[in-house]
Amino acid sequence: MNIRFDAVPPLDPKVAAFVGGKHAMLIGSAWLPAASGQSLDVIDPSNGRVIAQVPAGDRADVDLAVKAARTAIDGPWSKMVPAERAKLIWKLADLIDANVDMLATLNSYESGKPIGDSRNGEVPFTAETFRYYAGWVTKINGETMTINAPGDWHAYTRREPVGVVGQIIPWNFPLSMLAWKVAPALAAGCTIVLKPAEQTPLGALYFGKLVQDAGFPEGVVNILTGFGETVGAAMAAHPDIDKVAFTGSTEVGRLIARAATGNLKKVSLELGGKAPTIVLGDADIDMAVAGASSAAFFNAGQSCGAGTRFFVHKKIYDKVMSGIAERAEALKLGAGLDPATELGPVVSQQQMERITRLISEGRNDGAEIVTGGARAGDVGYFVKPTVISRTRPDMSVIREEIFGPVACAMPFDDEDLDRLAKDANDTEYGLAASIWTNNLGAVHRLAAKIKSGTVWVNCHNFNDVTMPFGGFKQSGWGRELGEQALQLYTETKTVAIRLP
Ligand code: NAP
Ligand code: MG
């Protein structure tokens, strides 16, 4: 398996100037270094080289950003009528579209994902998310209640912004994770302190420039770069942050929930997954092979909804497995910025080591490595797309979130749906699942039995801004996207009036 290194076009001068410039954090209207003067390296995962340095903030910077966000919510932002706020959010969406080349390049440079996925997928989706929530701003209303008690009453509810929110996001979809959090919070009238992942701060910092260009009042959006253990932990524990929203590992989700108990801030969590991908005996094999491969390999498997536990009917198991292996072997590996790349590197050395360790554990546990099974090359953080067969439910490849281009499969031999659902549900996670079949009865029965926030049928990793997304069980608290995300960022106030 060859990795192409020679086909990365030179960076556009405007992008090169931004990447090579001095980076600072957006606090209020100012671009500031970390109070401590510390910085952290941003790395190109296709070759391990340092491409930029950004401030490594800490608690002191969080304090400043929270003050700016508090001043903004007590000031101009809350006085702005909804239609004006909607216009600003819409303008921000237009600026994201207008800067698609810059944002897509930054996104792929720092995360390693294929440039086509950034340019044609993630960046447009980011703009669309802001536009969708711009539409909601003018439609966030309370209700009136008809009161049972005797007498004359008027009672109603107001939906008010929850306040200053801390948002901590991961590196796997740096821009769409930003949009899923920032857009509904702005729509609800909150102010924001955002921390991008240490691996992917550049896109978020450029987004900060667009927020200013759109004309948002200062302090509405603040962006802090730095490590989770410092900036992230200080946000989760901060006494003047009203709500923290997080996407990332279940382990860190637990730390955040614990840190939030000090002031009992509201918490929403979008955590890990271990999505079952169930291929029934009647499935269209070509469609299932293409869909299952993409479920496992899209974004190098670095997706919380990635299909990782394949349950395939015995009568088509060999065909499906060889089809997925064939597709895996045909994928073109390369840097994210090479337009021909289909599978980029994983984001970091740490992730590469974690993925290859889990694959080795699978091998040692007796699973069969059909293809792949190791690091690819010795430069950058590439992992060969891997297909693992004959797995058992107790193996770590089946229990742990791998977050790499690895499909693990096991056959089943009858279509007892209760049994299938039980096996599919045999995980601490409950984020997503997919079912591949044309049997309508089986679809609806299984969809009801599977314990996960999303069930896809004859598709996988399909997200639309209108569809709520989030986890059952240890995959999280709350739902992002759709109307439901507004609930994460609003408080309901009841006003009851006895009429004199
Ligand atoms: P992670 O540590 O959970 O990172 C997610 C975000 O949380 C980052 O911004 C991170 O900052 C921050 N963070 C880390 N420790 C924190 C703390 N104590 N308090 C507050 N914030 C904190 O994830 P990771 O280490 O990058 O990846 C590890 C595993 O997590 C992956 O293998 C995968 O299984 C899972 N993961 C899941 C998702 C998802 O979409 N559900 C996304 C990414 C990773 P830093 O950038 O400084 O770490
Ligand atoms: Mg981490």
**What Å distances lie between residue 377 and 46, 124, 257, CA to CA?**
11, 33, 40
Per-residue pLDDT reduced to its tens digit, 480-495: 999 999 999 999 999 9
Residue 6 belongs to a domain? no
Q: Which residue among the candidates 270, 400, 401, 480 is catalytic per the annotation? A: 270
This prediction has a pTM of: 0.98
Question: How many other C-beta atoms can be found within 10 angstroms of the C-beta atom of residue 10?
Answer: 8
353 has catalytic annotation: no
What range defines the domain where residue 118 resides? 11-271+476-494
Residues 486 and 396 placed together within one structural domain of the fold: no
Q: Identify the H or E element spanning 316.
A: helix 314-330
Per-residue pLDDT reduced to its tens digit, 257-298: 999 999 999 999 999 999 999 999 999 999 999 999 999 999
Q: Are 317 and 310 in contact (CB under 8 A)?
A: no
Residue 119 CA to residue 98 CA, distance in Å, equals: 12
β-pairing verdict for 432-436 and 406-412: unpaired
38: tokens are 């510390």
Per-residue pLDDT reduced to its tens digit, 52-100: 999 999 999 999 999 999 999 999 999 999 999 999 999 999 999 999 9
Residues 282 and 340 placed together within one structural domain of the fold: yes
Tell me the mean pLDDT in the region 203-224.
99
Tell me the mean pLDDT in the region 34-38.
98
Residue 135 belongs to a domain? yes
Residues 143 and 44 placed together within one structural domain of the fold: yes
Residues 221 and 281 placed together within one structural domain of the fold: no
Q: Are 377 and 3 in contact (CB under 8 A)?
A: yes
Q: Are 28 and 10 in contact (CB under 8 A)?
A: no
Residues 266 and 281 placed together within one structural domain of the fold: no
- pLDDT interval class at 135 (50, 70, 90): very high
Q: Which residues have C-beta atoms less than 6 Å from ligand 1?
A: 168-170, 172, 195, 197-198, 227-229, 232-233, 236, 247-249, 252, 255-256, 270-272, 304, 351, 354, 401, 403
Residue 166 is part of a domain; what is its CATH number?
Answer: 3.40.605.10
Q: What is the pLDDT of residue 4?
A: 75
Residue 3 belongs to a domain? no
Residues 228 and 300 placed together within one structural domain of the fold: no
Q: What is the pLDDT of residue 414?
A: 80
Q: What is the pLDDT of residue 5?
A: 73
Per-residue pLDDT reduced to its tens digit, 441-470: 999 999 999 999 999 999 999 999 999 999
Specify the residue with its C-alpha closest to ligand 1, atom 6.
170
Residue 448 belongs to a domain? yes
Residue 98 belongs to a domain? yes
CA 215–ligand 2 middle distance (angstroms): 33
Residues 418 and 358 placed together within one structural domain of the fold: yes
Residue 393 is part of a domain; what is its CATH number?
Answer: 3.40.309.10
Question: How many other C-beta atoms can be found within 10 angstroms of the C-beta atom of residue 51?
Answer: 16
Residues 251 and 280 placed together within one structural domain of the fold: no
Q: What is the pLDDT of residue 349?
A: 98
Residues 50 and 173 placed together within one structural domain of the fold: yes
CA 426–ligand 2 middle distance (angstroms): 26
Per-residue pLDDT reduced to its tens digit, 368-395: 999 999 999 999 999 999 999 999 999 9
List CB contacts of 163: < 8 A, sequence separation 6 or more: 73, 190, 191, 242, 243
**What Å distances lie between residue 181 and 175, 187, 280, 340, CA to CA?**
10, 10, 36, 31
Residues 461 and 487 placed together within one structural domain of the fold: no
Per-residue pLDDT reduced to its tens digit, 308-353: 999 999 999 999 999 999 999 999 999 999 999 999 999 999 999 9
Residues 56 and 83 placed together within one structural domain of the fold: yes
CA 270–ligand 2 middle distance (angstroms): 15
CA 209–ligand 1 middle distance (angstroms): 25
For tokens 């969406």, what's the residue? Answer: 93
Rg over CA atoms, the chain: 23
Tell me the mean pLDDT in the region 208-215.
98
Buried b (16+ CB within 10 A) or exposed e, 101-118: ebbbbbbbbbbbbbbebb
Specify the residue with its C-alpha closest to ligand 1, atom 14.
228
With the most atoms of ligand 1 within 8 angstroms of its CB, the residue from 172, 252, 303 to mutate is 252
Q: What is the pLDDT of residue 1?
A: 60
Q: Which of 231, 142, 243 is nearest to 191 (CA)?
A: 243
Residues 258 and 295 placed together within one structural domain of the fold: no
Residue 471 belongs to a domain? no
pLDDT at 355 over 80: yes
What share of the chain in percent tops pLDDT 90? 98
Specify the residue with its C-alpha closest to ligand 1, atom 32.
403
Q: What is the pLDDT of residue 275?
A: 98
The length of the chain, given as a count of residues: 500
Number of domain units in the chain: 2
Q: Are 433 and 425 in contact (CB under 8 A)?
A: no
- Of ligand 1's listed atoms, the one at least distance from the Cα of 400 is 34
386: tokens are 């891997």
CA 252–ligand 1 middle distance (angstroms): 6
For tokens 């569809």, what's the residue? Answer: 467
Residue 177 CA to residue 182 CA, distance in Å, equals: 9
